[in-house]
Amino acid sequence: RAKARGRATYQFFEPSLAETAYADLVLEAELAQALTRNEFELFFQPQVDIATGQLSGAEALLRWRHPRRGLLAPDAFIFVAERHRLMLALGEWVLREAAATARRWREQGLTPGPAPVRIAVNLSRMQFNLDGFADTVARVLGDAGARGQWLELELTERMLIDDIQHAPTTLAQLRALGLTVSVDDFGTGYTSLAHLTELPLDKLKIDQSFVSRLPDDVGAQAITRAIVQMAVGLGLTVTAEGVRTAAQWQLLAGWGAQQIQGELVGLPMPAAEFEAWVRAR
Ligand code: C2E
Ligand code: MG
Ligand code: MG
Ligand code: MG
C-alpha cells in the first residue's frame, strides 16, 4: 500500500490516520445497527469449584456475528462502542441477555445442585459510572424475572479507582440486590489489596497473565501466591483465570484459590453448546 503512494514518508502517515478514522466511522455505524439487527451474542465460559470440580458459574463474554467479518471478539469493537457511548445500550443488552439466560437455566433445571449457576457479566466503566446504575440493574432483573443472586458483576481495578467517590455506594446497592461483585484482571492495575479492603467486594479474579506463567516462572509464582493468600485472608473468594494445565490447577488449589476458569475446564461457548456441555458432565 505504501508503495503505491510513492516513497515519501509523510504520505504514509496522513492517509493511514484518515483510514483509521474512516474504519472507525464504519465500525461505529455498523455497531449502532448491530443491536437492532440482533447480531450480538453471549458466549459462556464455565467456572468450577477448584476442590470438587463442580460447576459454580459461567462468565458471559460478548461476541458480534458481523455480517461480513464473521465472529468478532470484544477487543475488535468494544473500544469504539465506549468512545461513542454506544456502550451504554450495548452494556444494558448484555445485562438483559444474561438475566434472561439465568432465568432460562433456572427453569430448565440446568444445574444439579441447590445453587444456581451464577452468570458473571463484564461491566464497562461507562455503565458503572452512570448515576443510578444500580437502579438500572434492579429494573433489568425485574423485567427478566431474575434474582440478583443469579448474577455476578465484574469490574476492573481502574473502574473502582476512577470512581472512588461513588464506587462504595454503588457496590453496596448492587450487593443489597443480591449480586456478587468481583474485581477482574486483578494484579494488572495499580490498586493495592489494602485499598480494596475499603470497598464492599466479594471476589478477585487473578489475571491470566500471572496464571499462564505458572508453574515455572518464580516471579509469577510469588505474586500469584501472595495475591491468593492475602485475598483469602481478607475473606474474598479467589478465581484464577486462564488455567490451562493440571499443574496450574494444583498449585492454585494448594494456595487456597476457590475457583478456576480457563481452557483446562472449557473455552467460551455459545449458549446451546454450554447447556449441552453441562448436561454431558
Ligand atoms: P476478561 O473479562 O478478562 O475475559 C477473559 C478473556 O480471556 C476472554 O476473552 C476469554 O475468552 C479469554 N480466555 C478464557 N480462558 C482462556 C485461556 O485458558 N487461555 C486464553 N489465552 N484465554 C482465555 P474475550 O472473550 O476475547 O474477552 C476479552 C475481554 O473483553 C474480557 O476480558 C472483558 O474485559 C471484555 N468483555 C467481554 N465481554 C464483555 C461485555 O459484555 N462487556 C464489556 N464491557 N466487556 C466485555
Ligand atoms: Mg471478565
Ligand atoms: Mg479477566
Ligand atoms: Mg481481560
Q: What is the pLDDT of residues 105-114, one digit of tens each?
A: 999 988 766 6
Res 205 pLDDT > 90: yes
* For range 239-243, the mean pLDDT: 97
Please report, as a single letter, which amino acid is at residue 173.
Q
- Would you place residue 2 in the very low, low, confident or very high pLDDT band (cuts 50, 70, 90)? very low
**Measured between alpha carbons, how far is 130 from 164 in angstroms, rounded to an integer?**
13
Rg (alpha carbons) of the chain, rounded to whole number: 20
- Would you place residue 194 in the very low, low, confident or very high pLDDT band (cuts 50, 70, 90)? confident
User: What's residue 164's pLDDT?
Assistant: 82
The grid cell for 174 is 448492587
- Would you place residue 121 in the very low, low, confident or very high pLDDT band (cuts 50, 70, 90)? very high
Nearest CA to ligand 1 atom 19: 242
**Measured between alpha carbons, how far is 2 from 138 in angstroms, rounded to an integer?**
53
Cα–Cα nearest to 63, from 106, 29, 34? 34
Pocket test for ligand 1, best of 122, 260, 261 (most atoms within 8 A of CB): 122
Shortest-distance atom of ligand 1 to CA 124: 44
Instruction: Give yes or no for a contact between 45 and 261, defined as CB atoms under 8 angstroms apart.
Output: yes
For residue 212, how many other CB atoms are within 10 A of its CB?
17
The grid cell for 187 is 494484579
Whether 242 lines ligand 1, by a CB cut-off of 6 Å, is yes
In degrees to the nearest 10, what's the CA dihedral of 190, 192, 193, 195? -110
The grid cell for 195 is 485499598
- The structure's pTM equals 0.93
- Would you place residue 254 in the very low, low, confident or very high pLDDT band (cuts 50, 70, 90)? very high
- Would you place residue 3 in the very low, low, confident or very high pLDDT band (cuts 50, 70, 90)? very low
User: In this predicted structure, which of 59-73, 107-121, 175-189, 238-252 has the lowest mean pLDDT?
Assistant: 107-121
Pocket test for ligand 1, best of 40, 61, 78, 243 (most atoms within 8 A of CB): 61
Please report, as a single letter, which amino acid is at residue 147.
R
Listed in order, strand segments (DSSP E) in the chain are 40-49, 55-66, 70-72, 118-122, 151-156, 180-186, 203-206, 237-240, 259-261, 269-270
- Would you place residue 184 in the very low, low, confident or very high pLDDT band (cuts 50, 70, 90)? very high
